[in-house]
A and B are shown apart, each in its own frame.
Chain A
Amino acid sequence: MGDWKTITVPVLSSDSKNIFHYTSEKKISPPSMNSQVLRLPLPSSKNMHSFFSAFCTEENIEQSISYLNRELTTLGFPSIYAESKGQELNLISIINCMNELLVLQHKNLRAQEEVEMQHLKLGSDMDHLQNCYAKLKEQLELSKREIVGLQERDRQLQSKNRNLHQLLKTEKDEVQKLQNIISSRATQYNHDMKRKEREYNKLKERLHQLVMNKKDKKIAMEVLNYVGRADGKRGAWRTDKTEARNEEEMYKVLLSDYEQRQKQLLVENAELKKVLQQMKKEIILLLPPQKQKPKERSEDGLVLSDPEEDIGELNKENMWELSCETVREQLTNSIRKQWRMLKNHVEKLDNQVSRVHSGTLNEKDVISREDHELETEKLELEIQQCKEMIKTQQQLLQQLMSPCDDDTTLLLQDCYLLEERERLQEEWRLFREQKKNFEKERRSFTEAAIRLGLERKAFEEDRGAWLKQQFLSMSTDYKHSENVTTPSAFLGSCDQDNRLVKSTSQRKPPCMLSGPVSAEPCQTSQYITRNSAASKKPAGDSKPNQWVESDKEETE
């Protein structure tokens, strides 16, 4: 793009020199388009004259012409002189140049409009952007202030947190200190207590001595007579034997208590073991048959990981009676393993169900609920139908098998015969109807065949005649009027057909050489006309048939 050459038409001076002056100067395009809009205003009607006379007057016609010529040539237009150096003006060239200039002017105006439009748009965009910018700046300010505020709060909270931690620590220290104080005081009190107690014991001993020494005869028991023992036995002396006996008694009591407890525990244990075994069996049954992973084998070590083997073990009835360590461990480990498997299985099922509900199910071996329901419905329907069928069959069977009375059987038989008879009659009627139809068709076919034969004969005759005609009229005028007529509809009237024939005859001049071929159209036309006159059948129906037939003849 070159620089815009602003050609400002001077309005003020009418000097021709100025014109040149202006035009030579103002070729620099201004940097900003805003200030210097291409001003090429149409002059007002008032100073139209003066405007027009400003440039070219009666005195400087030649110069202005030559000037114009120069300008135009520089602009790329053809010269306006008739010849290169002559004075005659080439009117046409001038007019052309004018026209071109007008066109250029229009274009320029349009371009200017566009530029102005764009300028406006850009201006509004700029305004918009400036607004946005201002708003964003505001927002940024706000956020900055907020951040500062939040930071301040954060700092405060942190300091509070630190203070609380400090407080907690001091409290803990104090608690520890108090505990230490308590414990030291407790030991001190204990010590003091012990000291006092010792003193007290000493006093008690002294008192006891005094009391005993007094030889108080009053400390005695007066009883009328001694009572017998509660259990009726006589009192015995305390000897070593009695001591031993007492020890024995005591141990017996303890042992019996332990034995009782152990018995209870054994019973409980046996019950629990039985329950565990049952649970294990049921869990194994619940689980789907799975392949044992090889790594599980190595994990459990001693434990048999094959469920079949486990079941085999279960069958050993005496296993639960053994209470040794390894058997117990085995049982608990296997129960745990089976339970884990069952848990995994249930979790898997849960996942599947949840996936189905969320609608992303794609697996083959799991069917969605709707399908499942549909299937069940279908199956139920089938079952219902089968059941009904079975019922009816059974009924029939029963009827057959069951011995009825003679009367009923006769009646039944009669019923059946009647049914059969009626059916036969129905069939006869149908058969007769069909027979009638067949007869009709046969007749029509024979008629058609006869007709066909007749027509064939006629056709042959015509063919012969036409061939003769052809031989006679060999030379024909090739120059025909070129009537390009659109081929009329084949199913039209007879006239149309004639026209058609005509056009075809016209159209087929080059084919006249082969005799029999060219003879046909005339014959066929005759044939057609005859036919249409002969039969009352609609032209449309018969024609295709016959025409096809004639085509067939043609090809033959």
Chain B
Amino acid sequence: TPWLSSPALGRQRSVGFALLQASCVQYRLVVRDARTLQILQLYTCLDQIQYIEWSSDSLFILCAMYKRGVVQVWSLEQPDWHCKIDEGSAGLVASCWSPDGRHILNTTEFHLRITVWSLCTKSVSYIKYPKACQQGIAFTKDGRYMAVAERRDCKDFVSIFVCSDWQLLRHFDTETQDLFGIEWAPNGCVLAAWDTCLEYKILLYSLDGRLLSTYRAYEWSLGIKAIAWSPSSQFLAIGSYDEKVRILNHVTWKKITEFEHPATVASSKTIVYKEVEKSPSVETERLSFPPTRALASSLFSTQSKYDVSQVPVSLQHIKPVADRANPKMGIGMLAFSPDNCFLATKNDNIPNAVWIWDVQKLKLFVVLEQLCAVQSFQWDPRQPRLAVCTGNSKVYLWSPAGCVSVQVPMEGKAAAGTSQASCFQNIFPLVNQSEHYHVNGSDAFLELCENGYFCLQKRGVHNEMQKT
């Protein structure tokens, strides 16, 4: 079954800046108060919802139904207001909001075109030949400009549009074989475009379309897997299939250092936190038959804690199958902390570990070794605190002060079985930009919010709120 729901957090002005949370069940959109989980609104859509997204000002929610090719928009201020966008035979593969919260960008099937629907006017814009790649659309942080990757006549192009009136600002070709993704620097002046993994090449373009620099680390081997900009736009971290992260600086666009991810951590200055399980102590007098729910959950759930391991530590290392495409190797996840001090990376060859690097010293700082494979991690948008989830019922938090593993209590039938219990698979940040929250959707996930609450979502079960 395809993934079902993608909750979001929003703030409803009318309700007095309450923290809201939207989730969808089948074809219903449910909006709750984040603190009390009280249902505030309920909307019904035409078909099974595949994707929901809050608008930037949290006034609207779009619900995309790809099968039907229909996008429905709901207003929180006026529950009666409705809007339906039908793509018809053109089909729908992706849909997203524009930064101003008044336009919806639909990508039709086979990436034939992107249609920009406006909620304010009757105007419609088309963008032809969009590229079918992982990150084909990129908005600047301030929401002024949008970069779209295009492909015409077997050549890659990038078009830069002004979001206010959707006017084409610049159109230039990129020297890539097969453009894989584009991403704006947080200062909105530099656009990074990188090639497919068959070719290690990253190009840096200025806002006005000039090529600032090209960087190639090596040839022939598999290249770039993921990139991340530092919040100050000073550094560009490039994670590649050779298990290394290369950091480029914004002045010369040359590599200033490489971070290696070997299977053995040998440096004595690195702290290695290892998750160990501790079986809970059972007081035999308290045992009763039939066992109560709480007792059952406490018996079957395994507590875990962190131990500091002595270096050198050798981590669990897997060698991926050589003859498969998109092998599980290399640096697949990169994220800078919001204060620009730390960089968290994950080497897919060592799936149980999260590596945290000190950006000021350009050295490895901490390694978190988990019992299960790390599914996702996210930084707290306000402070250097990292949340990690590994697909079990715990969430792990790291900050420079220490490391903690938090057991999330289950409710109801989830406690008894294990198949439903271990479903935290993804973490979502709250992009803290004035009062906006922007969230992407996937399966179960974890959300961090600024007031110390975070929200966990499991497959098929309602959201649960936990205090950190």
Residues of A within 8 A of B (CB): 179, 182, 186, 190, 193-194, 197-198, 201, 204, 207-208, 211, 214, 216, 218-231, 235-236, 238, 242-243, 246-247, 249-251, 253-254, 257
Contacts and interface: CB of A to CB of B under 8 A. Distances in A.
A236 B198 CA distance: 45
Nearest to B110: A204
B208 A223 contact: no
B165 interface: yes
A456 to B, nearest CB: 111
Contacts of B299: none
Q: Is the interface of B mostly helix, strand, loop or mixed?
A: loop
A214 B18 CA distance: 47
A226 B188 CA distance: 30
A230 B57 contact: yes
B101 A242 contact: no
B220 A238 contact: no
B294 interface: no
B139 to A, nearest CB: 14
B208 A251 contact: yes
A250 B120 contact: no
Contacts of B56: 230
Contacts of A220: 86
Contacts of A254: 189, 206-208
A269 to B, nearest CB: 13
Contact of B85 (A211, A221, A235): A221
Contacts of A238: 165-167
B17 interface: no
A224 B81 contact: yes
A218 B83 CA distance: 14
Given A246-B167, A247-B169, A251-B208, A216 B89 contact: yes
A223 B154 contact: no
B112 interface: yes
B112 A204 contact: yes
Contacts of B101: 230
A219 B87 contact: yes
A226 B57 CA distance: 17
B39 to A, nearest CB: 23
A152 B117 CA distance: 87
Q: Which of A204, A216, A228, A230 has the most CB of B within 10 A?
A: A230
B264 interface: no
B144 A253 contact: yes
B102 A229 contact: yes
B112 A222 contact: no
B1 interface: no
A158 B110 CA distance: 65
B88 A198 contact: no
A223 B86 CA distance: 11
A208 B101 CA distance: 29
A225 B189 contact: no
Interface in B43-97: 56-57, 75, 80-90
Contact of A211 (B83, B90, B118, B162): B90
A224 B82 contact: yes
Nearest to B170: A250
Interface in B119-146: 119-124, 144-145
Contacts of A251: 208
Given A227-B102, A253-B188, 17 more contacts: A186-B198, A201-B153, A208-B113, A221-B117, A224-B81, A226-B119, A229-B120, A230-B56, A230-B102, A235-B123, A238-B167, A242-B165, A246-B167, A246-B169, A247-B169, A250-B162, A253-B189
Closest 7 CB pairs of A and B: A218-B88, A219-B88, A216-B88, A223-B83, A257-B189, A194-B154, A246-B162
A219 B207 contact: no
B87 to A, nearest CB: 6
A230 B100 contact: yes
Contacts of A224: 80-83
A251 B85 CA distance: 36
A228 B207 contact: no
B341 to A, nearest CB: 19
Contacts of A230: 56-57, 100-102
Interface of B: 56-57, 75, 80-90, 100-102, 110, 112-113, 117-124, 144-145, 153-154, 162, 165-167, 169, 177, 187-189, 198, 206-208, 220
Q: Which of A223, A228, A235 has the most CB of B within 10 A?
A: A223
B220 to A, nearest CB: 6
Contacts of B122: 226
Contacts of B120: 226-229, 235
A450 to B, nearest CB: 109
A186 B177 CA distance: 11
A123 to B, nearest CB: 75
Contacts of A236: 165
A495 to B, nearest CB: 108
Nearest to B123: A235
Given A229-B100, A229-B120, A231-B100, A242 B167 contact: yes
Given A198-B154, A224-B81, A235-B121, A190 B188 contact: no
A227 B88 contact: no
A534 to B, nearest CB: 110
Nearest to B81: A224
Nearest to A225: B81
B209 to A, nearest CB: 10
Contacts of B57: 230
A235 B166 CA distance: 12
A227 B120 CA distance: 5
A217 to B, nearest CB: 8
A219 B90 contact: yes
A368 B165 CA distance: 85
B90 A246 contact: no
A221 B88 CA distance: 11
Nearest to B152: A201
B89 A211 contact: yes
Contact of A221 (B84, B90, B102): B84
Contacts of A214: 89
A134 to B, nearest CB: 61
Nearest to A223: B83
A236 B118 CA distance: 13
Contacts of A226: 119-122
8 contacts: A204-B110, A204-B112, A208-B113, A211-B88, A211-B112, A230-B100, A246-B167, A257-B188
A179 B220 contact: yes
A339 B88 CA distance: 76
B220 A182 contact: yes
Contact of A190 (B100, B177, B207): B177
A224 B75 CA distance: 11
A253 B206 CA distance: 11
A219 B112 contact: no
A211 B110 CA distance: 12
Contacts of B162: 246, 249-250
Contacts of A208: 112-113
A197 B179 CA distance: 14
B165 A246 contact: yes
B167 A219 contact: no
A224 B208 CA distance: 39
Contacts of A218: 86, 88-89
A250 B154 contact: no
Given A197-B154, A231-B100, A249-B162, A223 B88 contact: no
A244 to B, nearest CB: 10
Contacts of B110: 204, 207
